[in-house]
């Protein structure tokens, strides 16, 4: 069995680590980094009205098929958006293209942990559960390390003197963590890189503008889908924060939710006056997070959504009616988008935020 | 007397008789908005975010036209009709969207119909809804029972008599709902028209597609003209576990009518429709497998009736000529 996985942020790093620990590196095929070619492939063979995550994952899966994958992993959910249809449709498309790949789906709405562990067990030719769980924890410790570094990068990008330095170090860190083979080593690498990031030469701006990124999980996490919007905001001197990270998803959805913790409780509570029940995808959370960021004293929000995403359209309609007054830049991601157009919009948005701050002064951060 | 407004859009075409009899038995008067027209469409478009799909924009237009004509507006949030079967997000979030973009509107009655959460949740929602009109639980129970019977009778009437919701509604309530001829012509051409009921039946949005097709001599079959059990079974056969509430209407009907060997399939969807973008592909694939001619049509606020007519004519001509041998071109043209 040769398992191909689509790209989704840094998800390939833990997957590779798990395969390495179990000694089945040959059985896992990581597609090449996403490029315009991936997108073109996805767009060419997808239904024209499908959303960007569908097209990108399809493109990525086709690339793994070209490398010889015969089994493909894809998320499945009984949620309300079309994610539930991804695997069904993509399997058909790939069959029409002549690849006889089988789909292994990961249920992301129920029994998440079990379906992921089962996938690994399948892959590892029935290795013992002890080996699998230790490999699994090794994999996710890499994920946590990466997100920890990224958080620092998001802060440093805004205030570094030579733009792009933090990003360079971040990519180096990803490479190094990807190559690490011991759990202890990961901790050292994390510490080393955070130290390195803190030693970058900074300008003496005390409180850079702060922007929260909310929206659909795939386009928020995958930098190729949102055209490196966080990096571009950093170049404009804006500090970015996003709640949605892969490590948070792993932490809650795979473990703490079973113990009764709900990471979204506060966000859902804040959104209650406007949306009082799940509308699928991340629509409910987007509205709640806007309010949360406003309470925390952020300067603005960037709302990312794939074109024709149903839950995010609900959120887009509801957002302007909230009582909290905070500028929102709605960015729709699809294959037609151009980077220059996005940059112009970002510049205008940042100008607006600067004017507001000059007029109203810095809003006091609510530490609650 | 309490007046309840029901916008003539989205789920109206599927559930109007049930809703109406429910409110009437609770002693309320039901007001319906007029059929879609230019004013309604423009009003709706002006309020919603640009990416919103056409049917939701039209729905908002209908709601605007009901403001000041009623005390309540009934906008249920139809979340789930069965285990792991959900509606589209925009239909689930419809009361929330309406409240956000029309703050001046009357009180919105928004029961959350979510059968996934069990029957007690459903009873609670119905109780909360009905307590706007009465405090007598027996009366509520009776109203919901009668409404359910009415709803089933309405669904059965459509499949038995092979009529569209518009025709069934004008039979039931008298007012002219439809410009289409009452029954299909006895032509020998059968076309299945697949799409959400709120698109195939809104004659302003779809440029009276059923009327035009019937005028061209085609028998039209829509998902309502098959019995619910038949299309449910066909959907299960085609894709297994259903994921969306409309799957029987689109994939089920697609499977059912391709098995019936109709002469052609026309799919009608609104631009940007999430569920359709996945389901119509499936139907198209199925049509390709069975060599059934397939015409996908997509509607948005800029589509024009003339262009659609041309495509329909060409499609029907193609079907009529299918199988007949083309005359070999004379050498002069080669």
Closest CA to A28 of A47, A50, A12: A12
pLDDT over 60 (residue A342): yes
CA distance B61 to chain A (A): 15
Q: What is the pLDDT of residue B294?
A: 93
Residue B133 contacts residue B26 (beta carbons within 8 Å): yes
* ipTM field: 0.88
**Per-chain mean pLDDT for chain A:** 88
Closest residue in chain B to residue A279, using alpha carbons only: B89
Question: Average of pLDDT values for A28-36?
Answer: 91
Residues A265 and A292 in one domain: yes
pLDDT of amino acid B176: 61
Q: What is the pLDDT of residue A238?
A: 93
User: Cα separations (Å) of B145 from B30, B155, B159?
Assistant: 18, 16, 22
Higher-pLDDT residue of B323 and B11 is: B11
DSSP B244: B
pLDDT at B194: 92
pLDDT digit string, tens, across residues B257-272: 999 889 999 999 998 8
Nearest by Cα to A37 from A335, A289, A292: A335
* Position A135 in a domain: no
Tell whether A132 is covered by a domain: no
The mean pLDDT value for B7-32 works out to 91
Q: Where in chain B is the domain with CATH 3.40.50.11900?
A: 162-321
Residue A329 lies in a domain: yes
Q: What pLDDT, on the 0 to 100 scale, is given for residue B303?
A: 78
Query: Of the candidates A127, A153, A171, which is a domain's last residue?
Result: A127
Same domain, A281 and A174: no
Out of A69, A103, A127, pick the residue that ends a domain: A127
pLDDT band at A240 (very low <50, low <70, confident <90, very high): very high
pLDDT > 50? residue B306: yes
Contacts of A278 in chain B (CB under 8 A): 92
Cβ of A280 within 8 Å of Cβ of B100? The answer is no
For B148-170, give one letter per residue: b (16+ CB within 10 A) or e. Answer: eebbebbbebbbeebbbbbbbbb
A62 domain-assigned = yes
**A97 and A148 assigned to the same domain:** no
* Res. A368: pLDDT tops 50: no
CA-to-CA dists, residue B262 to B45, B229, B287, angstroms: 37, 19, 10
Residue B175's pLDDT is what?
A: 67
Q: Is the pLDDT at B334 greater than 90, yes or no?
A: no
- Could you list the residue range(s) of the whole structural domain that residue A192 is in? 140-204
Note whether A196 and A291 are same-domain residues.
no
Spatial distance between the Cα atoms of A324 and B156, rounded to a whole number of angstroms? 49
A77, A85, A273: best to mutate for the B interface, most B CBs within 10 A: A85
Cα–Cα distance measured from residue A214 to residue A66, given in angstroms and rounded to the nearest whole number: 34
Instruction: Specify whether A174 is located in the same domain as A258.
Output: no
Give the model's pLDDT for residue A25.
84
**Pick from A219, A214, A283: which is nearest to A53 by CA?**
A219
d(CA A131, CA A134): 5
Q: Which domain-ending residue is among A186, A204, A222?
A: A204
Please state, in angstroms and rounded to a whole number, the distance separating the CA atoms of residues A50 and A87: 13
Burial of A165 from C-beta contacts in 10 A (0-12 / 13-18 / 19+): middle
| Residues of chain B contacting A, Cβ within 8 Å | 48-49, 51-53, 77, 79, 84, 86-90, 92-93, 96-97, 99-101, 103, 112, 114, 239, 243-244, 271-282, 285, 298
pLDDT of res. B324: 73
Give residue A363's pLDDT. Answer: 61
Which tokens belong to B258?
């391709």
Predicted local confidence at residue A282, as pLDDT: 87
Gap from B277 CA to chain A (nearest CA, Å): 5
Contact A29, A19 (CB under 8 A): no
**CATH top-level class of B162-321:** alpha beta
CATH architecture, domain defined by B3-156: 3-Layer(aba) Sandwich (3.40)
- Please check whether residues A283 and A272 belong to one and the same domain: yes
In chain A, % helix, strand, coil (3-state, to 5) comes to: 55, 10, 30
For chain A, the domain total comes to 3
Residue A319 included in any domain: yes
Mean pLDDT of A111-118: 83
Query: Residue range B5-27: average pLDDT?
Result: 91
Of A47, A319, A330, the CB nearest to B277: A47
H/E stretch holding B190 reads strand B189-194
- β pairing state of A3-4 and A28-29: parallel
Return mean pLDDT, chain B.
87
Q: What is the pTM of this model?
A: 0.91
Cα A25 to Cα A12: distance, rounded to the nearest angstrom:
12
pLDDT value at A344 more than 50: yes
Question: Smallest Cα–Cα separation from A74: which of A107, A40, A27?
Answer: A107
Whether residues A187 and A302 share a domain: the answer is no
Q: How confident is the model at residue A193 (pLDDT cuts 50, 70, 90)?
A: very high
Residue A121 confidence (pLDDT) above 80 = yes
Query: Which of B75, B88, B89 to mutate to probe the A interface, most A CBs <10 Å?
Result: B89
Query: What is the average pLDDT across B81-104?
Result: 88
Q: Are residues A41 and A108 in the same domain?
A: yes
pLDDT number for residue A367: 43
In a domain, A368, yes or no: no
Using alpha carbons, list the distances in angstroms from residue B276 to A75, A309, B9, B319.
20, 12, 18, 24
Measure the CA–CA gap between A334 and A331, rounded to whole angstroms.
Answer: 10
**Which residues does chain A have within 8 Å of residue B277's beta carbon, measured at their own beta carbons?**
47-51, 82, 308
* Range in A271-280, B78-87, B228-237, B295-304 the model is least confident about: B78-87
% of chain B exceeding 90 in pLDDT: 34
Query: Does B55 have pLDDT greater than 80?
Result: yes
Q: Which of A1-5, A74-78, B280-284 has the lowest mean pLDDT?
A: A74-78
Q: Is the pLDDT of residue A49 over 60?
A: yes
CA distances from A75 to A72, A112, A175, A284, A300 (A): 10, 10, 26, 20, 32
**Cβ–Cβ gap A310/B97 under 8 Å:** no
CATH of the domain at A93: 3.40.50
Across the interface, do A82 and B274 touch by the CB < 8 Å criterion?
yes
């Amino acid at each position: 069995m040769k398992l191909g996985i689509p790209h989704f942020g840094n998800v390939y790093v833990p997957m590779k680590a798990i395969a390495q620990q179990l000694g089945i590196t040959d059985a896992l095929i990581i597609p090449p980094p996403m490029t315009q070619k991936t997108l073109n492939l996805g767009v060419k063979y997808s239904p024209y009205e499908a959303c960007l995550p569908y097209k990108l994952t399809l493109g990525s899966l086709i690339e793994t098929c070209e490398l010889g994958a015969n089994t493909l992993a894809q998320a499945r959910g009984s949620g309300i958006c079309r994610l539930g249809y991804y695997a069904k449709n993509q399997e058909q498309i790939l069959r029409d293209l002549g690849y006889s790949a089988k789909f292994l789906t990961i249920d992301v709405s129920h029994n998440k942990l079990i379906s992921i562990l089962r996938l690994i067990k399948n892959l590892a030719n029935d290795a013992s559960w002890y080996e699998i769980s230790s490999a699994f924890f090794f994999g996710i410790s890499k994920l946590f390390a990466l997100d920890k570094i990224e958080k620092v990068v998001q802060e440093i990008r805004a205030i570094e003197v030579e733009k792009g330095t933090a990003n360079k170090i971040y990519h180096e860190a990803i490479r190094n963590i990807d190559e690490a083979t011991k759990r202890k080593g990961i901790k050292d690498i994390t510490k080393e890189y955070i130290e390195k990031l803190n030693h970058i030469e900074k300008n003496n701006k005390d409180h850079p503008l702060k922007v929260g990124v909310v929206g659909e999980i795939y386009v928020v996490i995958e930098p190729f889908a949102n055209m490196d919007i966080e990096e571009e905001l950093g170049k404009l001197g804006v500090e970015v924060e996003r709640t949605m990270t892969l490590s948070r998803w792993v932490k809650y959805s795979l473990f703490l939710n079973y113990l009764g913790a709900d990471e979204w409780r506060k966000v859902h509570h804040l959104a209650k006056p406007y949306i009082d029940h799940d509308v699928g995808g991340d629509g409910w959370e987007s509205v709640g997070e806007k309010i949360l960021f406003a309470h925390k004293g952020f300067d603005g929000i960037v709302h990312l959504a794939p074109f024709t995403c149903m839950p995010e359209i609900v959120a887009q309609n509801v957002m302007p009616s909230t009582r909290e007054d905070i500028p929102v830049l709605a960015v729709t991601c699809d294959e037609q988008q151009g980077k220059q157009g996005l940059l112009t919009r970002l510049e205008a948005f940042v100008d607006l935020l600067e004017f507001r701050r000059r007029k109203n002064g810095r809003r006091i951060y609510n530490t609650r | 007397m309490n007046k309840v407004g029901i916008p003539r859009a989205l789920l109206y075409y599927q559930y109007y008789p049930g809703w109406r009899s429910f409110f009437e038995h609770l002693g309320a008067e039901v007001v319906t908005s007029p059929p879609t027209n230019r004013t309604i469409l423009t009003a709706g478009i002006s309020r919603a975010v640009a990416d919103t799909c056409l049917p939701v924009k039209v729905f908002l237009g209908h709601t605007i036209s009901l403001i000041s004509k009623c005390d309540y507006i009934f906008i249920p949030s139809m979340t789930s009709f069965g285990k792991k079967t959900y509606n589209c997000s925009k239909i689930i979030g419809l009361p929330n969207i309406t409240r956000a973009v029309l703050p001046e509107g009357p009180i919105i009655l928004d029961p959350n119909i979510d059968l996934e959460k069990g029957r007690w949740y459903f009873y609670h929602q119905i109780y909360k809804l009905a307590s706007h009109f009465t405090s007598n639980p027996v009366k509520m129970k009776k109203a919901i029972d009668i409404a359910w019977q009415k709803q089933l009778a309405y669904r059965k009437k459509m499949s038995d008599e092979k009529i569209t919701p518009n025709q069934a509604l004008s039979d039931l309530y008298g007012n002219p709902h439809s410009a289409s001829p009452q029954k299909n012509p006895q032509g020998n051409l059968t076309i299945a028209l697949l799409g959400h009921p709120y698109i195939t039946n809104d004659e302003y949005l779809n440029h009276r597609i059923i009327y035009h097709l019937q005028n061209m001599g085609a028998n039209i079959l829509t998902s309502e003209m098959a019995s619910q059990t038949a299309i449910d079974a066909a959907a299960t056969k085609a894709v297994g576990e259903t994921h969306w509430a409309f799957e029987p209407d689109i994939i089920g009907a697609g499977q059912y009518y391709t098995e019936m060997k109709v002469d052609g399939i026309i799919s009608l969807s609104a631009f940007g429709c999430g569920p359709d973008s996945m389901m119509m592909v499936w139907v198209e694939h199925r049509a390709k497998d069975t060599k059934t001619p397939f015409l996908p049509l997509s509607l948005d606020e800029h589509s024009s009736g003339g262009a659609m007519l041309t495509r329909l004519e060409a499609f029907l001509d193609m079907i009529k000529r299918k199988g007949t041998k083309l005359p070999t071109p004379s050498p002069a043209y080669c």
